[in-house]
């Protein structure tokens, strides 16, 4: 069944049924990935252009592999090495890609809203692979996929996101996704990294709360997600000392003891080990961080397949 959407920009307007459809389709894609030969002809003859104006490992590689496993022609464009370095504007870059016949554009950009500009300029599908602080919908979908596999139905589950919330597009998209599936989301971090008003982000009132004390936030949690301290987006004074941050908010074994015994630990990556998460937790028995990365492939195959019409 198609998704009845041309673009994937964020999860703010996704219904529970649409999210479920993406996750269920990703389960089917996982079955394809388990076969000895994973390639299927679904997108044969289609061209996908991955335009990454900001650094990425997980997202770029998994979008590229997802396109290849579906038999699309995949082209990668990075800011360095492209005509952006010669001063070409974003709009002109997009028009060039349109003229060369892209069927889908996957775009990462440091400026919030850049993929929305791309939708105005392009006739093809646009997939937001992360725009500034704003949104990272494919990451949120792969997080939902991984959590659902571990916890089942998310209704009423306590999901805690700890860290640099203010700069996090992952947190923003996950708040929409987790609450749309009925989970309670607790946002935790120092007040300078917690935007005011985030508790009102969900349209399901009362599902998002803010807790400044990490031990209280993690108490009884079903899932704890540590977020990277985004030093590159940090403006002066927001966080005076990383050691103090780690002591108060780092996800470590002692702090995790407050959560449910079967708590799962997530991190969207890349990690600053020893800052927002300790190595013994990142690689410990409760961690599903590597499964998150692996889920990215099935989810991105699902996104391509559904946006292409689900046939």
Of the pair 139, 286, the CB lying nearest ligand CP is at: 139
Residues within the interface to ligand CP (CB under 6 A): 56-59, 130, 139, 268-270
User: Closest approach of Cβ 16 to ligand CP, in Å?
Assistant: 24
- Find out whether 266 and 147 touch, Cβ atoms under 8 Å: yes
User: Closest approach of Cβ 230 to ligand CP, in Å?
Assistant: 11
| Chain residue at closest Cβ approach to ligand CP | 59
User: Closest approach of Cβ 109 to ligand CP, in Å?
Assistant: 13
- Find out whether 7 and 119 touch, Cβ atoms under 8 Å: yes
Residues whose CB is less than 8 angstroms from the CB of residue 218 and which lie 6 or more positions away in sequence, other chains included: 160, 162, 188, 224, 251, 255, 256, 258, 259
- Find out whether 280 and 254 touch, Cβ atoms under 8 Å: no
Compute the Cα dihedral for 94, 76, 53, 19 and give only its sign: positive
User: Closest approach of Cβ 269 to ligand CP, in Å?
Assistant: 5
Of the pair 55, 84, the CB lying nearest ligand CP is at: 55
Of the pair 210, 288, the CB lying nearest ligand CP is at: 288
Instruction: Mark 217-243 as b/e (b = at least 16 C-beta within 10 Å).
Output: bbbebbbbbbbbbbeeeeeeebbeeee
Of the pair 220, 270, the CB lying nearest ligand CP is at: 270
Phi-psi region of 14 (alpha: psi -120 to 50; beta: other; left: phi over 0): beta
3-state secondary structure of 10: coil
User: Closest approach of Cβ 171 to ligand CP, in Å?
Assistant: 12
Q: Is 45 exposed, middle or buried (0-12, 13-18, 19+ CB in 10 A)?
A: exposed
User: Closest approach of Cβ 54 to ligand CP, in Å?
Assistant: 8
Q: How far apart are CA 77 and CA 50, in angstroms?
A: 6
Of the pair 170, 307, the CB lying nearest ligand CP is at: 170
Q: How far apart are CA 192 and CA 239, in angstroms?
A: 7
3-state secondary structure of 94: helix
Of the pair 143, 222, the CB lying nearest ligand CP is at: 143
Q: How far apart are CA 48 and CA 64, in angstroms?
A: 9
Of the pair 21, 139, the CB lying nearest ligand CP is at: 139
| Pairing of the two strands 264-266 and 223-226 | parallel
User: Closest approach of Cβ 260 to ligand CP, in Å?
Assistant: 25
User: Closest approach of Cβ 61 to ligand CP, in Å?
Assistant: 8
Peptide bond into 256 cis (omega under 30): no
Of the pair 30, 139, the CB lying nearest ligand CP is at: 139
């Amino acid at each position: 069944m198609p998704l009845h959407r041309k673009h994937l920009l964020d999860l703010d307007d996704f219904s529970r049924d649409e999210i479920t459809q993406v996750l269920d389709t990703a389960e089917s894609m996982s079955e394809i990935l388990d076969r000895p030969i994973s390639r299927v002809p679904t997108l044969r003859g289609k061209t996908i252009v991955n335009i990454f104006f900001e650094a990425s490992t997980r997202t770029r590689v998994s979008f590229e592999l997802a396109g290849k496993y579906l038999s699309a022609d995949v082209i990668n464009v990075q800011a360095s090495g492209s005509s952006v370095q010669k001063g070409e504007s974003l709009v002109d870059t997009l028009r060039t890609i349109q003229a060369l016949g892209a069927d889908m554009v996957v775009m990462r950009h440091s400026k919030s809203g850049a993929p929305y500009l791309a939708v105005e300029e392009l006739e093809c599908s646009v997939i937001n692979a992360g725009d500034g602080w704003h949104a990272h919908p494919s990451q949120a979908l792969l997080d939902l996929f991984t959590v659902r596999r571990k916890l089942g139905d998310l209704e009423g589950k306590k999901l805690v996101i700890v860290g640099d919330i203010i700069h996090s597009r992952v947190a923003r998209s996950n708040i929409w996704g987790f609450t749309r599936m009925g989970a309670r989301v607790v946002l935790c971090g120092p007040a300078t990294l917690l935007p005011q008003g985030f508790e009102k982000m969900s349209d399901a009132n009362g599902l998002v709360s803010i807790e400044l004390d990490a031990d209280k936030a993690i108490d009884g949690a079903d899932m704890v997600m540590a977020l990277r301290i985004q030093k590159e987006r940090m403006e002066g004074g927001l966080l005076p000392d990383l050691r103090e941050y780690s002591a108060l908010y780092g996800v470590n074994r002692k702090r995790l003891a407050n959560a449910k015994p079967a708590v799962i630990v997530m991190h969207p990556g890349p990690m600053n080990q020893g800052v927002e998460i300790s190595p013994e937790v990142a690689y410990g028995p409760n961690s599903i961080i590597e499964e998150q990365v692996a889920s990215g492939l099935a989810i991105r195959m699902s996104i391509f397949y559904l946006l292409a019409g689900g046939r």
